[in-house]
Amino acid sequence: METALDTLVPGPLSLAGHRLGTPQQAGALTMVPISGPAHPGFAPPRTGLKLSRVVGYGQVELSNAAGSGVAIVPLHIGYIQDAAQNHALCRSAFLAPGQRLLFEDACCVQAGQGGYLTERDQWFFVLPAELRDAALRLRGVHGYSKLWADIADLNVRYGLARRGHLEQILSRKRPVLTQFQSRLELQPGQVGALFFVAGRFAGLEIAPDPVYFAEMWTALVCFAYGVAAWHAEPDPPADGAAPYDARSLPELRGALERDRSARLAEVAGWLAEAPAGPVDLQEEDRYVDLRLSTVTAPHLAGQIVTDGDRTVYASLFAR
C-alpha cells in the first residue's frame, strides 16, 4: 500500500520511511495506522499549545507553553467551553517556545452564544471533515461569522436545526462521537493515519512524532472524521453473522485468514481508487528550516510542514 500512499500526494509530500499498518474499522470509519520516523523537537498540541485568550469574536490567541520545541498549530483546531463562544482556526502556524500568536482570521462556530473563551477547561477538536475545505478557503479572511452558513448547512444535512452552531453536533453528540477514540485504537509508535469513511478516502494525517499524534487522536477520530462516520454508521446485520464454510478448527482458521486477506485487499483498493493528481503548493509560514504550505488540488486540500524534503506534519482531506 506504500506505493498508493505516495501517489496520493505526489511531489511535495515525501513519506519516505512511513509504513501503513493493519486497518482498523469502527462502523463506517476505517483507519489505517501509519508508523514512521519521529522528528524530535516539536511541542505536542495538548500539553504544549494553550489557548491564551479570545481578544474579540474571531480573534484567538494561542501560546506555546512548552519549555522547548516549536509548536505546529494543528490545522482546523478549535476549542469548546461552556458559556463561551467556541472558536476554530482556519489555518496552521508555527509558534516558537514561549511565543504567543493572535489568529485574527479565526471563526466562531457557535452562532448567538456570547462570552469569550478563557484558559480554563480546555479541550480541543478539529473541524469536521465536511467543513474543512470551506474553512481552509477562509484563511486570512476576517469575520467571526464566516463559517456559520456552512455549519448550518451541515446541521441540516444531519437532520439538525439550521443554525450556525457546531455545538449541536460536537457537544450534543459527544457521547457517541467520543466512543470512536476507543472503537479505534492507537498503535504503539503511530505517527499518522489514513481515514476512509464508507469506503471513500477522507483524509491523511501525519504528525512529527507519536506523542504529538497521540494528543491529536481524540480530536481526529472523534470530530474530524468521526462526525461523518457517525452519520454513515451502518445498521448491524439483521440476519446475524454468516458462518464460514469450515468443518474443523484448522479450516476455520484458514477461512478467517483468507477472508482477512480479501478485506485488506479491499482497503488497498480504496486507496488505489482515491483520486490522485498534481497539487498546488503555497508557502504560508516558515520557522528556521521548516516550511508550512497549503496544498490544493481538485481531489484534496490541506496543509503540510516540511523540513527539506521530509514531511514533518500533514493534514490533508478529501474535497
Partner 1 sequence: MDTPTLLAHLETHDTALTLPRGGTLCWDDADLHRAAHAADPEGYALLGLAPGVRPWQRARVLMQVLAASQAGLDDATRAVLARVAHVLTLALPPAHVITVLLGLRRLRANHKHTTRTVLRFVLEHPDADALIAARRPALLDCFEHALGKASARGCARRIADGDTASDYLRRRLLRFLTAPAAAPARVRALYAPAPPGATAPREPALAVDALRERPATVTATNRGDIAATLVHLYRGGPAEELYVALGRYLDAAALAYPRFEGTVALVLDASASMRGYGEREWAVLSQAAALRMLLGEICDRLEVVEVGGDERAPRGATDLATGVLDALAAGPDLVAVVSDGYENLFPGDLARVVATLPRAGVTTPVVFCHAMFTGSDDLRLRRPAPALPQRGFWHQDDFAELLPWMFGHCAAGAPWLRSALHTRLDALDRRAAELTAEFAAAPR
Q: Residues in the site for partner 1, rule: CB under 8 A?
A: 22, 24-27, 175-176, 179, 181-188, 236-237, 240-244, 246-249, 251-253, 255-256, 259-260, 263
- Which CB sits closer to partner 1, 149 or 246? 246
8-state DSSP, 285? E
Q: CB 188 → partner 1: shortest distance, Å?
A: 5
**Distance from C-alpha of 271 to C-alpha of 49, rounded to nearest angstrom:** 33
- Which CB sits closer to partner 1, 170 or 267? 267
Q: CB 178 → partner 1: shortest distance, Å?
A: 10
Residue 125: count other Cβ atoms within 10 Å of its Cβ.
27
Asked if 231 and 169 touch (Cβ cutoff 8 Å), the reply is no
Secondary structure E strands in 8-88: 19-20, 24-26, 29-35, 42-43, 49-56, 59-64, 70-73, 77-80, 87-88
Q: CB 259 → partner 1: shortest distance, Å?
A: 8
The alpha carbons of the chain give a radius of gyration, in whole angstroms, of 20
- Which CB sits closer to partner 1, 158 or 244? 244
8-state DSSP, 212? H
- Which CB sits closer to partner 1, 159 or 175? 175
- With left for phi above 0 and alpha for psi between -120 and 50, is residue 33 left, alpha or beta? beta
- Which CB sits closer to partner 1, 35 or 294? 35
Q: CB 237 → partner 1: shortest distance, Å?
A: 8
- Which CB sits closer to partner 1, 262 or 288? 262
**Distance from C-alpha of 5 to C-alpha of 192, rounded to nearest angstrom:** 12
- Which CB sits closer to partner 1, 116 or 244? 244
8-state DSSP, 39? -
Q: CB 3 → partner 1: shortest distance, Å?
A: 23
Q: CB 219 → partner 1: shortest distance, Å?
A: 13
Residue 176: count other Cβ atoms within 10 Å of its Cβ.
12
Q: CB 273 → partner 1: shortest distance, Å?
A: 21
Phi and psi torsions of 268, nearest 5°? -60, -35
8-state DSSP, 17? T
C-alpha cell at 85: 463562544
